[in-house]
Amino acid sequence: MKFIDLFAGVGGFHKALHELGHECVFASELDPTLRKLYFDNWGIDAKGDIKRIVDNEIDSIPPHDILCGGFPCQPFSKAGKQLGRDDNRGTLFDEIVKILKYRRPKYFILENVPFIAKHDNELTWNYMKSELESVGYVVDYEIYSPQDFGIPQHRKRIFIVGSLNGLDHFSFTDIDNQKTSLIDIHQFIEEDPKQFKALPKANQECIKLWQKFINQIPKGTKLPGFPIWGMEFGATYPFEKSYPLKLSAKKLGEYKGNFGYLLKGLTKKEQKTKLPSYATVEKAFPNWKRSYIRQSREFYNDNKKYVEDVVKEIAKFPSQSWQKLEWNVGDNKRKITDYILQFRASGLRVKKVDFFPSLVCTNTQIPIIGWQQRYITRSEGMKLQSLEGVVLPENDNAAFKALGNAVNTKIVKIIAEKLLEEQIPIQSMNKQIQYNVVTKTFVEPTHTTV
C-alpha cells in the first residue's frame, strides 16, 4: 500500500512501513536539515510547511492508503506550557483532518505525548476524536513505551489509529500480547565505543561534589526519594501559607533565602536574586512544591552537622539545576557513577540501570553512562528508537534532537502490522471531494444523471 509521512523527521514511520513492504509517496518536514536527511535516508524530497501545502496546493498530496504523522507534541507536553490548540503548532492536527477529508486514505496512524488524552480536561481529545469520526473513521488509541516491547527506554506515547472500514479486525489487545518484561539494558550499551562524547569536567565536578554530600550522610540514614533542593538548605522564607513576593522588602528581610542568605537590608529586586527561581512567583505554591521545600529543609536540619561544609561548595554552582539532586535508586549502593545519569532542569537525576530516561529534543538532557563518564552514543540512541541504520545529522546535538523528536519504529511496526492485516476494499474518495483554495473549504461535487 501507499503511505504519506507527515512531520516526518528522520523517518521513524517510514522505516516501519518500508520494512512491512509499503511505499511512501509523499513526506513533509519543516526543518530543512531534516528534509535533507530524509532524502539521504529514503530518496524522497520531503516538502516543507504542511499548512501552506494544504491551504494552497493540497492536490499535490498524492492518493494514498495510509496517513502517518507524529504531529508536534510541544503544545500538549507536560514539560511545556500546555497551550494545546491555542498554540499554532497545536492546530496542525486540523491540517491532518483536511488531508483525511480530501484523500480519504483507508487508515491513519498518529503519535503524540500521552497527556494529549487528558489535556484541558479531555476537551482536546474529545475534539480530535470527533473531528476524525466526522470524516468517517472508527478511532481508537493506546499508550505505549519502548520498554513494553523489550527496549530499555521509558518513553510513553499515545498511538491513535483509525480505519474507514471499522476496527473489528484490529484490537490493541493483540498489541498488548506482544509485550515483554525481558529487557537487558546492557545489550543496548557499548562497552568500548569508538566514538563518544565524554562528560565535561564541570559536570564531573558536580557529580563529585554531590557524591561527597552523599558520603557525609550516616549509613543508617535513608537517602531521600524526593528531589533534594539544595537551595532550601538554610532557607527560611515563607512558603506554606504565603510566598516571598507577597511580602514587603522589610518583612521579607526577616527571613533567609538560598542557602541561608540574609535578605535583610536588600531591595525587593535584590532579594529576588537571592531566592530560588521557583519561589519568585506571584501566587501560592502548589502542594507538591510545598512538600519538596518542607522535606528538603527538614533533611538538611537533621543532617546539617554532617554536610554543612560541602553544602557551601554546592551553593557555588552557577546553575540552580546543579544545586538539586534526584536520587532514584533507593537503598542501593551509594555511588552515583554506578548508575544512569541525566542533567535536567529538575536536578542531577540518578537512575537505576534498568531503563534509560526518555530521549528528548533538548540536547542538555542526553542520558549519561555513569561508570563510563560519557553520554550515550548516537548508535545507542538509534537502538533506543529502533532507528538502526538511519543517517543522522553530523552534529551530535542535532542528532539527539532528531532522535528526541522521532517516533519509535518498533512500536509503529507492531501496530501497523496488525492494523493493515485486513485490507477490505474501500471506495476511493480521492477525487470526489474538491478543495476550494480561495474559501479554504471542501465541496461535494454535484452529480448529474445521464
Identify the sign of the CA torsion 53, 58, 63, 67: positive
Contacts of 360 by beta carbon, 8 Å cutoff, 6+ apart: 79, 404
Say if residue 137's pLDDT is above 60: yes
Instruction: Reduce the DSSP state of residue 231 to 3 states and report it.
Output: helix
Q: Using CA atoms, how far apart are residues 163 and 141, in angstroms rounded to an integer? A: 12
* High-pLDDT (> 90) share of the chain, %: 80
Identify the sign of the CA torsion 444, 168, 155, 378: negative
Q: How confident is the model at residue 446 (pLDDT cuts 50, 70, 90)?
A: very low
pLDDT at 433: 47
Residue of 98, 146, 142 whose CA lies nearest to 386:
146
Say if residue 272's pLDDT is above 50: yes
**What secondary structure letter does DSSP report for 81?**
-
Amino acid letter, 412: V
Cell of 53: 501545502
What average pLDDT does this structure show over 18-33? Answer: 95
Q: Using CA atoms, how far apart are residues 228 and 300, in angstroms rounded to an integer? A: 9
Give pLDDT tens digits for 379-429: 999 999 999 999 998 888 889 999 998 999 999 999 999 999 865 454 444
Say if residue 50's pLDDT is above 50: yes
Average pLDDT, the chain: 89
Other CB atoms within a 10 A radius of the CB of residue 202 amount to: 11
Give pLDDT tens digits for 169-206: 999 999 999 999 999 999 999 998 988 999 999 999 99
What average pLDDT does this structure show over 287-313? Answer: 97
Say if residue 162's pLDDT is above 90: yes
Backbone angles phi, psi at 262, to 5 degrees: -70, 130
Say if residue 70's pLDDT is above 60: yes
Contacts of 270 by beta carbon, 8 Å cutoff, 6+ apart: none
pLDDT at 74: 53
In DSSP terms, 341 is beta-bridged to 350, 368
Polymer length in residues for the chain: 450
* Architecture label for domain 2-183+407-443: 3-Layer(aba) Sandwich (3.40)
Q: How confident is the model at residue 367 (pLDDT cuts 50, 70, 90)?
A: very high
361 catalytic residue (yes or no): no
Contact 384, 188 (CB under 8 A): yes
Backbone angles phi, psi at 384, to 5 degrees: -70, -20
Among the listed residues 24, 73, 206, 361, the single catalytic one is 73
**pTM of the model as a whole:** 0.83
Other CB atoms within a 10 A radius of the CB of residue 81 amount to: 10
Amino acid letter, 374: R
Q: How confident is the model at residue 443 (pLDDT cuts 50, 70, 90)?
A: low
Residue of 125, 113, 112, 109 whose CA lies nearest to 163:
109
Cα diameter, the chain: 96
Q: Using CA atoms, how far apart are residues 271 and 249, in angstroms rounded to an integer? A: 8
Contact 407, 70 (CB under 8 A): yes
pLDDT at 248: 94
The ranges assigned to domains in the chain are: 2-183+407-443, 201-376
Q: Using CA atoms, how far apart are residues 355 and 340, in angstroms rounded to an integer? A: 8
Q: Beta strands of 126-263 (E only): which ranges?
A: 138-144, 157-163, 228-229
